[in-house]
Structure formats: C-alpha cells, structure tokens
Amino acid sequence: MLNRFLLLPLVVLMFGCGTPNEAKMDLIPLPQSFLPEAGSCALTGTWDMVVPDVWADRMDFWVAWLEADEDAAEGAAVHLQVILDGELAEEAYVLDVAPKEVEIKASTPAGVQHALTTLRWMAMTAEGGKLPCGRIEDAPRFEHRGLLLDCCRHFMEPDFIKRTIDLLALHKMNVLHWHLTEDQGWRVEIDAYPELTAKGAWRTEADGSVHGGFYTKDQIRDIVAYATERNVRVIPEIELPGHSRAALAAYPWLGCTGDALEVPHDWGVFKDIYCAGQDTTLAFLKTVLDEVMQLFPSEYIHIGGDEAPKVRWEQCPKCQRRITEEGLHDEHELQSWFIGQIGRYLEENGRKMIGWDEILEGGLPAGATVQSWRGMDGGRDAVAMGHDAIMSPTSHCYFDYPVESTDLEEVYGFESVPDGLEGAGRILGGECNMWSERAPQHLVESKVYPRLVAMAEVLWSPAAQRDWSDFKTRMDAHYSRLDAWGVTYGWETVPLGLDWERGTDAATLQVSLVPAMSGVDGTASFVPHGASEPTAVFGVGEVERIRGEGTLVVELTRKGVSMGNPLVFPLAGHVGAFEPVELDHAINAYYPGRGEQGLADGRLGSQDFRDGSWQAAQGQSMGVTISLDGTHHVDSLSMQAYRYQDAWIFLPDSVRFQWSVDGEHWEGDWAEQPFAGGRPTFEPNDLQDVQRVSVAVGAEAKWVRFEARNPGPCPDWHDAASSSSWLFLDELVVHTAP
C-alpha cells in the first residue's frame, strides 16, 4: 500500500534542459555515480509525494526535512515516488530525476533521507534554478562516520546538541559520539547515584566562577529520539578507569585512597582513578551502565580506557591483591581485566564495547572495538587480532587542534585504512574529535566547520574519486549552504601562509606572504625581540629579508575589512637556519616539529605547543647538531624549551651547548642551572610558558650542537607520577655579529 501526501511548496527547483556534458555536480559527499540525461523537468511548485505504507510514520519528518531550506512558490505539483527496494544496501539510495517526476529507491529510511538530503543540496546551489536530470546511485564507503563531541570540559546546551545532529545528518554523517563523563564534569543523570550530578557536574574555576551542567534523563531521551529520526546513532562514552575525578569527587570510596577530592578546573591526566581492586567499584559502574543502556539504544557503548595512570594501583593493597588473585602480571593486565569485566557485562546485555587504543595494552578484551587515536597502529593491531577498529588519529581528526596543524586539505587527505592491513577484523570507519578544553560552546562550530565537510566525503565517497582540486571547487559552492544554515564556520587554513627560506645573506631569512584563501590580503611587520618598532613592513607579493629573532605580525583583511586578531609568526634569521642537521633523538609522530630540519628552519615555537613548530620526545633526551656552511664567529647559541607540567611537558634537567671548528674537538659543557630561575625544581605549578636558555660563545665554529637531558619520569607529586615525561624544543639559533 502507498501513502500519498501533497507537500506544501518545499523547494523551488528546475531540472533544466541540457546535454550530459553540461551536467555539473557540486555535491559533498560526492556520490558514487551520476549518469546525466537530457531533458527538462520544471519543479516550481508542490510535490505530490508517495511512500510505501511501511514508512508512513516517516512522512511528516521527510516533509519537514525537504521544506527546511526553501520558501513557498506557485506551480504544478511534481510526482515524488519513494520505492522500497530490498536489494539495496542499508544506507544506499538511487535518485532518478526525469521530466515531471522524481523517484527514490532505498531499503531503509536512512537511504531515503540521504536521497532527500541530496535533493536539498542540489536545490540550494542550482544555478538559475536548474538542475540536471539523471540518475544518482550512491552508498557510503564506511558504516561508521562520526563526530565526538566533548560536553564535559565545557557543558553544551541540549538545543546545541540537536543543531549538531542536524548538521551531521545534512553531511550524511551517522554517529554522534557523546562524551558524557570526565575529570572536569559528569553530565548524565543517574538515579542510583544522585551526587554524580549534584556535585560531580559542577566545578569552581580559578577565578571563582562555577561552570557545569548535566542532562536530565528526559533531555537525553529527547535528544536520542531526535537523532534517531535523522538516522544518527548516539553512542555514549562513560570513561573508565581513568578520567574519573568528577565521579570520585562525588563518591570518594570509588578511588583507591578514599580521599575527598574536588572536581578539577584544570586540564591534564590525573592519578586518582577508579579502584580496580574493589568489587563495589565494579558494582557502581554496572549500575551506572544499566541506566545508561536504558537511555541509549545504541549497539555500542564507549568506555574510554585511555590515559589511566597506574600510580594509585601500584600503591593500593586492594589492587595488588586483585593482581595476585587473578594471576595477572602487572597493572597493565589489571586494566585489561577491569575493562574485560565491563565488556562482558555489556555483552551479557546485548551491547558491544568501544575503547580508545590503550585498551590494547595488557591484552584486548574479547569483542572490543578499538578507536585508534595515537596514530594508525592501534587500528592496524586490532584488525590483525580479529577486532574491529574506528580510526581517529590526532594527525587528521582532532578538530580542537588549530588549522595551523590540521587544515582542510590535511583532513581531506586522511585515509582511514592503514597500509599493510592484515587480519580478520574490519575498519568500521572514522571519527573527527571535538575536545572542548579550549572550545566552549560558542567556538565549537568554528573549529568543526569546514573541516567536517572534508571528513564527510572522506568517509562516504570511494577513495578512487578523491581529488582535492575538485573538492575545493565544490567546497566553494558549499559555503552558501553553510551560510543558509547559519553555521559560524572557521578558516580552511591559515588565511595567509608564510613562505620562508634561507636568504642570500647567510644570517637572514627571505620571507613572503602567500594567500591561502580567496580575497584575503595582509600587511606584515617584523619586530625584533626587545624592540618596540618594526624593522620591516611589507605586503602580499613582496619579499623581505629578516635577520635575528623577532615576531612577524600579519594584519589580515578580506575585501578591505579586518579579519580580527592578527597572525603571529615567531622567526629567527641566523646562520644555522636550513643548514644540514643531525638529531640525537627519534622524531615523534605526534610532535614532529616540521621534521628533520625542524630545529634549524628559522621558525620558532610559539606559546601554543600544538602549533606544529615544536619538536618533542617522550621519555628520552634530545639533541641536534648543525653543520654550518663555513667557519663563523659565533657570539652565542640559544634554544627554547616549553613548560606545561599538567600536560607532562617538563623543562630539561640540564643542557649542553657545544661548538667546534673541526667536528672532533668540542668546547662547552653541561649547564646545571640553565634557565632564568636556575636549576629546574620540578615543583607543582600550572604554568604554560616558553623558557629560553642560552650560552655565550665568542669563538669560531663550523659545527654547533645542543643536548637536553630528560628529567626522568613525572615526579611523585604529579598526577602521572612514574609516567615518562616530555621534552619540547625549538630552535637552535646561532647568533653572529651583524
């Protein structure tokens, strides 16, 4: 039986006459195939929509979904036929546009909605109101296409969650990974444990203000229903055993010490985690999960499993007894055992578990799906072990990172299937992650968009179709849709890029501004360190030479209007820039600092350690040697080190600058008190700053080098005590006389 509904005027379309060669597709994601046809079809009025009886309850929503972008218009009704075709894959659809008729075939409501979404997109950017007639056959490449939204570091209103779901559906993404529990806030109402939201949902900030909030069960049910109607699955994340300080603040007995704790207002990794030696802790989590499973029908429940320091477990008699009783070797196997208990409980209740790639450590629980964030190896290893994997490496998928480190083109270049993949497991798809330490609700869209648009195509369209130039053209058209939807999108990349290379004078850099977005202009001013006035001012298309250390400040305009805060590029023109280097440490995949040349490339690390300039190593010392282009009289040498102990980034224990004329005999020794405050004390502080260390030379040199000793594991007072600390360096500057 068919159901007919005469839609109010919902789109103003015109499927224009034209030859197949004139057909133009500006859709994102790009469909699998489009076969254009000649002919004409004027859709200037209402739709006469007919759907199978089995989908009659979807009619009102489908009407509203199509009506959302268009004004009413006069004209004859056009037949829109929806046909149930059980041969098509779950989210696949066929969209046929013919004279005076549109036909949609699908096997599920998700397929129908994807087809209707395609119609919405075509309508919004149709040139002259004309659309090509023809057939689109389409289906997603991956079944899991998601966005993680962290509502714990900063609470986000229910209406904003719904808006996020709408935008996911409009880009054919189908998963909202909802991060609901954290150190800094517990966001889901649990009847059995009311203190989780009475106390754990609120924190006092450093300035004395209170931040927090939580979602009632009714609000969650409403959001889940809203998402389900739009064919978006909501996967809740209940973090364990780490990232659990908010829960421990509410119920101190859940931890190893039982100490009273506050909900923290700072970021980082904390040593107090759920006690794995207590049966009561497991009982608590199972009760919480019982209520979570009642709220979320999702097949999957995400349990976190990342960044869980073992400090408390190492000192806890209950955890040590558990290790002995269960025949485990160490605390890593204890974490695997603990997560395995939760995994089996979820399985008994008909659910599946997802965990971050740390759950691989100590043995992977049966049936677990791995979400790989620390590169691609976690996904590769999971598949090799016969498990499924979801890919979201920091290199391409962390949208809290600035565009300086992950821009639109880099996201579009993401390939979620690792090289050398072998095993019985599957790559289910991927996710972009929006962590909110530095992104309260009003900043989220500017970080997610337009980068999510690129990810939508990466996860939907065939890899063989991927073409950056073509995508960029389609993206230019898509901005009008984002504008119509009121999306406060950010930049695709740094609007004006910086080109820099060694100058004709060995002690200078040759720099120029390169437009990276259309219509953007700018003026750059180079201010040397210690100066108040610029020594160079230049614009786009001009080349300038920079000598010495300083800051390049670029004021941006677009079509003559200021684009707000200027871009800032710390630079150093010196004789060591772009000369051959040799590193004493391995380049870290997460913080490569512009690769092999990064410690001698003329760019200095900024106050943001994620800016792409800082080179880092965890648990090891670092060193670099530069071979100069000849013998120079070196006045001094300097290096920058980053300090952010909450993020495990410590200053070096000691450093050594050395110089040599022949590369065999070296001058210079270790400095035990290298920094302005003397020897680093490694005492608790939440400072996030750049420290400079330097040494006077006053000698001839052909080679120079710098070494920094790692201070060892994070100290006992640190929340990650015994875990390996990080060193962050940039850059070895060779100062010579003018």
What CATH number does residue 394 fall under?
3.20.20.80
CATH number at residue 533: 2.60.40
pLDDT of residue 21: 33
* Same-domain check for residues 435 and 541: no
Examine residue 491 and state whether it is found in any structural domain, yes or no. no
The SS3 call for residue 288 is helix
pLDDT of residue 264: 95
Where does a domain end: 484, 508, 537? Answer: 484
* Same-domain check for residues 289 and 416: yes
pLDDT of residue 20: 35
Contact 82, 119 (CB under 8 A): no
* Same-domain check for residues 196 and 286: yes
* Same-domain check for residues 307 and 165: yes
Examine residue 490 and state whether it is found in any structural domain, yes or no. no
* Same-domain check for residues 613 and 471: no
Examine residue 575 and state whether it is found in any structural domain, yes or no. no
* Same-domain check for residues 111 and 152: no
Where does a domain end: 545, 570, 595? Answer: 570
* Same-domain check for residues 151 and 130: no
pLDDT of residue 19: 35
Q: Which residues does 335 contact at the CB level (< 8 Å), separation at least 6?
A: 241, 276, 305, 308, 310, 358, 359, 361, 362
Where does a domain end: 113, 138, 163? Answer: 138
Structural domain of 406 = 144-484
- 430-472 pLDDT tens trace: 999 999 999 999 999 999 999 999 999 999 999 999 999 999 9
* Same-domain check for residues 263 and 409: yes
Which parts of the chain have pLDDT scores under 50?
1-23, 72
The residue assigned the tokens 């001698």 is: 600
Contact 503, 510 (CB under 8 A): yes
* Same-domain check for residues 622 and 509: no
Contact 461, 32 (CB under 8 A): yes
Examine residue 353 and state whether it is found in any structural domain, yes or no. yes
pLDDT of residue 210: 97
Quote the percentage of the chain above a pLDDT of 70.
92
CATH number at residue 707: 2.60.120.1190
Strand segments, DSSP code E, in 400-467 are: 427-434
Catalogue the long-range contacts made by 293-298 (C-beta closer than 8 Å, 24 or more residues apart).
293/346, 293/349, 293/351, 295/188, 295/217, 295/220, 295/221, 295/224, 295/236, 296/220, 296/224, 296/234, 296/235, 296/236, 297/224, 297/228, 298/233, 298/234, 298/235, 298/236, 298/351
Contact 424, 406 (CB under 8 A): no
Examine residue 401 and state whether it is found in any structural domain, yes or no. yes
pTM for the structure as a whole: 0.87
* Same-domain check for residues 152 and 168: yes
Examine residue 576 and state whether it is found in any structural domain, yes or no. no
Examine residue 463 and state whether it is found in any structural domain, yes or no. yes
Torsion of CA 235, 239, 244, 249, to 10 degrees: 30
* Same-domain check for residues 316 and 193: yes
pLDDT of residue 76: 66
* Same-domain check for residues 422 and 500: no
- 189-217 pLDDT tens trace: 999 999 999 999 999 999 999 999 999 99
What is the 8-class DSSP label of residue 423? Answer: S
Domain count, the chain: 4
Contact 302, 428 (CB under 8 A): no
CATH number at residue 125: 3.30.379.10
